[in-house]
Chains A and B, each alone.
Chain A
Amino acid sequence: MLRAEALTKRYGEVEALAGLELEVRPGEVYCLLGPNGAGKSTTMNLFLGFAAPTAGRAWVCGLDVQHHLLESKRHLAYIPEQVHLYPHLSGAENLEYFAGLGGSAVSGPEVTALLERVGLPAAAHHRRSGEYSKGMRQKVGLAIAVAKRARALLLDEPTSGLDPRASFEFSRLVRSMCDEGVAVLMATHDLFRARDLASRIGIMSAGRLVWEGGSGDLAGDDLERVYLEHVRRAAEEAAA
């Protein structure tokens, strides 16, 4: 569903991504871990077509992103780290607007149903979104993704800054989408959330995938140990 094929991105001298190979299958949640600057956001940008790869390809539902910039986005939903909405519109209006842009117009009862599904309190549906908390905005972002009936979902640090309860609710919703056959690629710093949600986990460092494994391969504190070890090793290699 989502596939990176020798995906490489250079900004001048800096290699942000070096020959990434990755595949996320339908119904799977793939968590990308790694320190800042490891290449997680670059990966997201390449799948979204926000940046052009220096080499390699990004595939969405069998479409090469670079050659099908618009079509590939029909199948792709994206929730950025900070969901920014139009502050003078309500959550419902934002949903209507973005869903319309996505080519899946929704109205009236559908909007209410979607917002209820993501757990936005009914009283907030028609309030200015400028007054929303971050968690509420993330929920609207999720509702936009759901409305699109996308087959792949990109999540960029979606739970950072959310309180544990909001974070939990968010995970539950992602899982429910996953159960419907959506492929999810999630970049995160939250090891706990990754272990809880992921079917598979990849650790990135300095633009490379340095470890990959199923969540079943690990137990207890293993993930933290593996993560720190790989990140340290990568840093040593870079220094040498």
Chain B
Amino acid sequence: MRPSLLRSQLRLLLREPTLRLGALVLLLCFGYALARGRAWTLTDAEQLARVQHDIDAEVAQKREEVADVEAGRVRAEERPFAGSPLDYRVAAALPPGPLAALATGQRDLAASVAEVSLWGRSDTVLTRQSLADPEQLQAGTFDAAFVVVYLLPLLVIGLTFDLLAGERERGTLRLVLSQPISPAGFLLAKFAARLVVLLALLGLFGVAAAVTLGTGVTVALLAWLAVAAVYALFWSALAFAVNTRRRSSAANAMTLAGAWVSLVLLLPAAINTVVEQALPLPSRMVLVGELRAAENRAAAWIHDHPELTGDDAFAWARGYYRVQRTIEEETAPRFAAFAAQLEARTELVRASSWVSPPVLVHEALSELAGTGPARHTAFGAQVLAFVDSLRAEMAPRLYAGRRLAAVEYDALPRFRFVEEEPAQVAVRLVPPLGLLVVASAGLLLWGVLRLRRGEPPVSGPDVG
């Protein structure tokens, strides 16, 4: 393809009213999504800080109580529970990633902060009484990932459904192809011009995001944009292939709209249905019943073994703690089965994302923004591990009836989320995205070969 050809197509494209309108709408959507995402992320971070602060303040107060007893300002009998290991709490938070504003992902649904202490059990530490508006959760947020996954393909379709057919229907194609230029070359130039504009729009959004979010141009941001670009490439290539059929522009529009509905709306919903039907989860409601039955049994057992609780100030706490551990042990196989099924579901969805570009891209955009399912799963696992380490530290004190000394408070475990290695994310995302690139190239090649075969597409289906 001659560079001059691309230049002239680019000039032609930039004069098109459809492009101006489409680009404007896309940029407005991106702008809204960015502003909204930024506001939302700030609220989110403030919220985490507030939870952290409130819990720390409460623990600091407990520490003061202990210090008062230690200093003799208050008599020990007046504060029998001071320094109880059961009272130490710490907030385990999943901080929003620097790009969280670009994709809400699972963040509006999954817990991103947990209160960890000797209270409760591993099945309750991440269960929350959410007050989130269900309608909002169901509708989903209008984030940049939505703009990319849902709306960007529509702009691509709007710009490309009549690449050849439109020229034919307007009558310009005969004059064009009487010039020394092949149909494939002409179509490729038009295609490339559109891709250049789409990439420019994405680039513009990238700059806006880098400035607005204050992250500057980072590898993660570039990767995010690259994923969006690959997705745009896929849709352009699909539109290119559809254009090589000698059909009317209305037929092309219909085909591409059908492809969009099938790929973006129906296929993911179908995948969801298949996953839920093929890998049903044990009922949470029945699990609740089983947990409560275990609680009854554990309480009766501890009632019959008063020697395990003792009779000092911590007796009740000791009994409570032992009951919870007994329930956990008894129900562990049920939760293991539950977790295994969840894991199998994740695997199945991941496998299905190889054939569903929107699912793949949505997951990739969320993961790169730090709001994806994998990061939330990792958070859950790290919280549970942290719970274990806290228990290992505190349970011996509880059993021995040893209070926490004021100075000890400062040395107690704190939670810090360890991010997944970028390489691991890449290993997971690059192969299916690579396949998407290969598939796009295949579609382009197929289209070019089809155009090379047979006579130039100057006449449509209804002209002899």
Contact = CB atoms under 8 A, between A and B. Distances in A.
A–B contact with Cβ pairs below 8 Å: the answer is yes
B456 A50 contact: yes
A103 interface: yes
Contact of B180 (A70, A86, A87, A144): A70
B456 A49 contact: yes
A101 B179 contact: yes
Nearest to A145: B178
A77 B464 CA distance: 24
Contacts of A30: none
Contacts of B12: 86, 89, 97
A73 B175 contact: no
Interface string B430-464: 00000000000000000000000001101100001
A89 B179 CA distance: 19
B4 interface: yes
Nearest to B454: A52
Best-buried of B172, B174, B175, B459 by chain A (most CB within 10 Å): B175
Contact of A105 (B4, B175, B177, B178): B4
Nearest to A69: B182
B182 A84 contact: no
A102 B180 contact: yes
B176 interface: yes
Contact of B182 (A70, A77, A78, A97): A70
Interface in B1-42: 4-5, 8, 11-12, 15-17
Contacts of B456: 49-50
B175 A98 contact: yes
Contact of A50 (B16, B171, B455): B455
A73 B178 contact: yes
A76 B178 CA distance: 8
B175 A89 contact: no
A98 B175 CA distance: 8
Interface string B189-216: 0000000000000000000000000000
A48 B174 CA distance: 9
Nearest to A71: B180
A88 B178 contact: no
A144 B455 contact: no
B170 interface: yes
A117 B458 CA distance: 30
Contact of B15 (A77, A88, A148): A88
B181 interface: yes
A88 B459 CA distance: 23
B97 to A, nearest CB: 44
Contact of A141 (B4, B8, B175, B176): B175
A98 B179 contact: yes
A80 interface: yes
B180 A74 contact: yes
A192 interface: no
Given A71-B180, A73-B179, A80 B174 contact: yes
Contacts of A89: 12, 15
A48 B177 contact: yes
A232 B455 CA distance: 33
A89 B177 CA distance: 19
Contacts of B16: 88
Given A84-B170, A85-B172, A88-B17, A77 B178 contact: yes
A52 B455 contact: yes
Contacts of B176: 98, 101
B175 A80 contact: yes
A141 B8 CA distance: 18
A100 interface: yes
B172 A78 contact: no
Given A73-B181, A93-B15, A98-B176, 4 more contacts: A85-B172, A89-B15, A101-B181, A103-B179
13 contacts: A50-B177, A73-B180, A78-B178, A84-B174, A86-B172, A87-B170, A89-B15, A97-B8, A98-B176, A101-B176, A101-B186, A102-B179, A154-B178
Interface of A: 11, 45, 48-52, 69-71, 73-74, 76-78, 80, 82-89, 93, 97-98, 100-103, 105, 141, 144, 148, 154
